[in-house]
Chains A and B, each alone.
Chain A
């Protein structure tokens, strides 16, 4: 059989007749002539060594599904993993909207042919503004890590200072990101915590604050699940020394927790993955940054900010870029950091989520997550040999369990749980050696009493 050159379904002009006609139009004998500027010694000789293609869709589907079949997901296992990526329910309408080709396959369109994305993202900013009680929210950047790094850089630009204080109970991955991102010009100092609660040591904060500090950064809820209840005091101490208060917050907690601006935060940031976006093995992140509507703050945002404006037709809403001249698109290296493709579709999705939930939905989900989490904490704490190091604190949807008294390692317990169909909590033993053999368990609105009881009984079983 002779191999006929395929006409690729994704490449209409790969059809030989069209190709010939187009070559004639451009006055070239071959495609090679079009590459005349590429020197011969740089031309790749031969054929790339890639796997044989699966030209038909059916072969491709079989191959990819075969690979995916080697995965087991949180649908197959009962999962208690969180630590920066959370298993919340994703309403069907969220997927329906972000799967629509008009949104999915558009890019950086302008306010006329892509009015839809401008309005949807303006509405996202607006609903996040209600949740956060703040007037300025960006078009999403990459993720909560980037939002944290940028929020701290904004604080340094605003204060003209180059040192920040960061709580020590943040995840090691975020810490790594911040170290790299702030490295060239901003020093970072870690704040001690109170061992029994995990909360910031206020005395230590006071002694570390100085006229050199640009910002104090903490999280609510914290990486380890407890709620930092001293936000007002931290903000007041920071403000007294001319520093800004930067708070990273889980937006899904804000139906019940006070928005950070109400206890003194100046810049609020975080990740929108909990708001209607699948976990996607870490592919579902988007970052937000919010401030008051103060020109000094607005001019420090690197991201796009979409604003509302009138058109020539009465009653018609138009949208466009607010203060575009601060961005790297306008000014290259003279802009604020950089802006580029990030997570706009997740912004649209989070907007859909907030509209579906409404005020009551956000209150209910917060209340119920806290109840379920408290229930799990009480049940787990009752298991002999288990200890909750920060039990004295309020928690939102995660909590630390210490296994030291059982003599077992987290890795060992998680292996046993895995055999019984459970993904146990994240092993913290390398990340926080001071916590010994501890794991971080996550509970959301999807964990039923049966699920939690199953975790508890299975933990008891594997200890025996």
Chain B
């Protein structure tokens, strides 16, 4: 008889890949090539000769760019190693990145989008050769209309903030069309709406008024009443907000803004918990947007490409970016004949491969499936909250005893006061257990914040494991805070000295700047 292998410890032992990989320039071997380019045929060579030598001298590059010289395997291996030093949804229990809706991106959708019938489409091909792509765009628009209640969508924005900007540009065009743009120079948002609501409206020329929460954590309705006037262009608001709290007076908010002639735009970055439960249009919104890379599962790509979708009521539809996708009963086509359009937001029509993936995702779930997504995301969140609140030193400010929708912004204020360990440091320690953690956007209105969003993708066991990690770290904070102050210990790299990042004499955004500032020789 042999003894069974012992039970695994909890939380799990983990060590991140740590290849100690040089910066790519240090891997250069003169004379190596990673890929070759087709030779010019004799017929061309004989006809045209050396074309570049005819360029005026000041337009010709005199020495080749100092890129690394590497064989193909060595390029592949370098980047494969770097990829191992990264944790995507595929590898970790990615509930720690609240507001970002980190869910499983089905592999089948990625595979479908790798078809040459997708990747090798030029956006200016004749319409008759892209009927499938146009149909997908058209169908996705119909779906998003049903999910939100809005009348039209554009899929052109490159991601969520671009969609927010698109909505602001349409709001501006709407007021211009009514000769009220001079008068309406203010946009109202809330502090628990994504910072891009404030930032995009500022770029579009608006003054920003930011509402803070009332004592219960809801956007302050008295503050809204005081803020609105004939100067109000729009309200840009998230609901549920980044606290996970749904504003039950949202209809009243919309009415207050409408009563002074302003428009209401709904940032639906947080829509994952309300699919099929409540719709933007039913609360009276004039515009909304979705992040297809959040709610509709297209992969986040280390920060894009994502995809944004902006929806509007008929009253705003004339201002949509050009072109729209239309169907005449026989064929799909791009419609540029939109005289009141705000024009182009990006080149061509949107992030087509993500439009395809979002369409496929909705098709794989249907109405019941989307509702299961929302309900499970909310169940997961309330389950996780129940467990997290049993961890020492953490709380969920606002709305005591109330349920949350799809995420919660927690506070480690108690733990920080008791132990001197800050939320950011907990994030560094979480890494040692093979997962990820995020505090919140700035400013930290909730002190020592942590934002968790356990979407529908995670199992009960996943959520339990994440809480075990948090509980373990909280205990360390009380018993041996140095472990946390010196974290991470099991990551790719160790504690980074951040001094250079804000010092113009020391910062280095490129290898060449680093070499110059450190007086290091090029390898």
Whether A126 contacts B510 by the Cβ 8 Å rule is yes
Contact residues in A for B365 (Cβ distance below 8 Å): 8, 10, 53
Q: In B431-453, which residues have CB < 8 Å from any A CB?
A: 431, 435-438, 441-442
Whole-angstrom distance between the alpha carbons of A454 and B102 in the complex?
49
Whether A279 contacts B122 by the Cβ 8 Å rule is yes
Closest to B128 in A: A418
**B177, CB-defined interface residue at 8 Å:** no
Q: Contact partner of A83 among B23, B124, B136, CB < 8 A?
A: B124
Whether B349 contacts A281 by the Cβ 8 Å rule is yes
Stretch at the interface among A104-112, A160-168, A190-198, A209-217: A104-112
Whether B362 contacts A50 by the Cβ 8 Å rule is yes
**A187, CB-defined interface residue at 8 Å:** no
Whether B504 contacts A298 by the Cβ 8 Å rule is yes
Whether B120 contacts A75 by the Cβ 8 Å rule is yes
Shortest Cβ distance from A361 into chain B, in angstroms?
A: 6
Q: Contact partner of B23 among A36, A134, A229, A317, CB < 8 A?
A: A317
Shortest Cβ distance from A351 into chain B, in angstroms?
A: 8
Q: Contact partner of A85 among B208, B282, B347, B405, CB < 8 A?
A: B347
**How many chain-B residues does the 8 Å CB contact rule pick out?**
217
Shortest Cβ distance from A6 into chain B, in angstroms?
A: 8
Whether A312 contacts B494 by the Cβ 8 Å rule is yes
Contact residues in A for B492 (Cβ distance below 8 Å): 112, 115-116
Digit string of A359-391 for contact with B (CB within 8 Å is 1, else 0)?
Answer: 111111111101111110010000000000000
Contact residues in A for B355 (Cβ distance below 8 Å): 283
Whether A283 contacts B305 by the Cβ 8 Å rule is yes
Whether B45 contacts A371 by the Cβ 8 Å rule is yes
Whole-angstrom distance between the alpha carbons of A28 and B383 in the complex?
10
**B511, CB-defined interface residue at 8 Å:** yes
> Which one of B120, B159, B435, B437 has the greatest number of beta carbons of chain A within 10 Å?
B120
Whether A358 contacts B165 by the Cβ 8 Å rule is no
Decide yes or no: A100 and B80 within 8 Å by CB, A81-B122, A311-B494 being known contacts. yes
Whole-angstrom distance between the alpha carbons of A394 and B428 in the complex?
54
Closest to A72 in B: B129
Whether A423 contacts B126 by the Cβ 8 Å rule is yes
Q: In A410-429, which residues have CB < 8 Å from any B CB?
A: 414-415, 418, 423, 426
Whether A173 contacts B344 by the Cβ 8 Å rule is yes
Decide yes or no: A18 and B34 within 8 Å by CB, A11-B373, A39-B251, A285-B347 being known contacts. no
Q: Contact partner of B346 among A60, A107, A142, A445, CB < 8 A?
A: A142
Whether A10 contacts B457 by the Cβ 8 Å rule is yes
Whole-angstrom distance between the alpha carbons of A440 and B498 in the complex?
49
> Which one of A38, A93, A107, A179 has the greatest number of beta carbons of chain B within 10 Å?
A107
Shortest Cβ distance from B268 into chain A, in angstroms?
A: 14
Stretch at the interface among B64-72, B219-227, B474-482: B64-72
Contact residues in B for A328 (Cβ distance below 8 Å): 195-196, 198-199
> Which one of B135, B300, B435 has the greatest number of beta carbons of chain A within 10 Å?
B300
Whether A345 contacts B59 by the Cβ 8 Å rule is no
Shortest Cβ distance from A398 into chain B, in angstroms?
A: 12
Closest to A345 in B: B301
Shortest Cβ distance from B331 into chain A, in angstroms?
A: 10
Whether B33 contacts A361 by the Cβ 8 Å rule is yes
**A1, CB-defined interface residue at 8 Å:** no
Q: Contact partner of A10 among B274, B456, B514, CB < 8 A?
A: B456
**B366, CB-defined interface residue at 8 Å:** yes
Whether B496 contacts A320 by the Cβ 8 Å rule is yes
**B471, CB-defined interface residue at 8 Å:** no
Whether B304 contacts A344 by the Cβ 8 Å rule is yes
Whether B348 contacts A85 by the Cβ 8 Å rule is yes
**B202, CB-defined interface residue at 8 Å:** yes
Shortest Cβ distance from A126 into chain B, in angstroms?
A: 4
**B468, CB-defined interface residue at 8 Å:** no
Decide yes or no: A54 and B364 within 8 Å by CB, A74-B121, A333-B201, A362-B64 being known contacts. yes
Contact residues in A for B146 (Cβ distance below 8 Å): 48-50
Whole-angstrom distance between the alpha carbons of A11 and B100 in the complex?
18
Q: Contact partner of A11 among B92, B372, B442, CB < 8 A?
A: B372
Stretch at the interface among A238-246, A251-259, A399-407: A251-259
Contact residues in B for A461 (Cβ distance below 8 Å): none
Contact residues in B for A269 (Cβ distance below 8 Å): none
Whole-angstrom distance between the alpha carbons of A84 and B343 in the complex?
17
Decide yes or no: A11 and B514 within 8 Å by CB, A67-B132, A68-B115, A342-B158 being known contacts. no
Whether B105 contacts A105 by the Cβ 8 Å rule is yes
Digit string of A3-34 for contact with B (CB within 8 Å is 1, else 0)?
Answer: 00110101111100011011101111001011
The 5 closest A-B pairs by CB, nearest first: A184-B205, A282-B348, A53-B366, A356-B34, A105-B88
Can you spell out 20 A-B residue pairs with CB atoms less than 8 angstroms apart? Answer: A10-B103, A50-B362, A54-B363, A71-B132, A74-B121, A84-B347, A102-B91, A112-B428, A112-B492, A113-B430, A113-B435, A122-B509, A283-B353, A311-B494, A328-B195, A329-B441, A331-B442, A340-B162, A348-B302, A359-B69
18 more CB-based (< 8 A) A-B contacts, given A71-B129, A173-B347, A312-B495: A42-B283, A49-B146, A50-B362, A61-B108, A64-B360, A68-B117, A73-B129, A105-B299, A107-B303, A109-B86, A117-B82, A119-B23, A184-B205, A229-B59, A231-B59, A278-B120, A318-B497, A352-B75
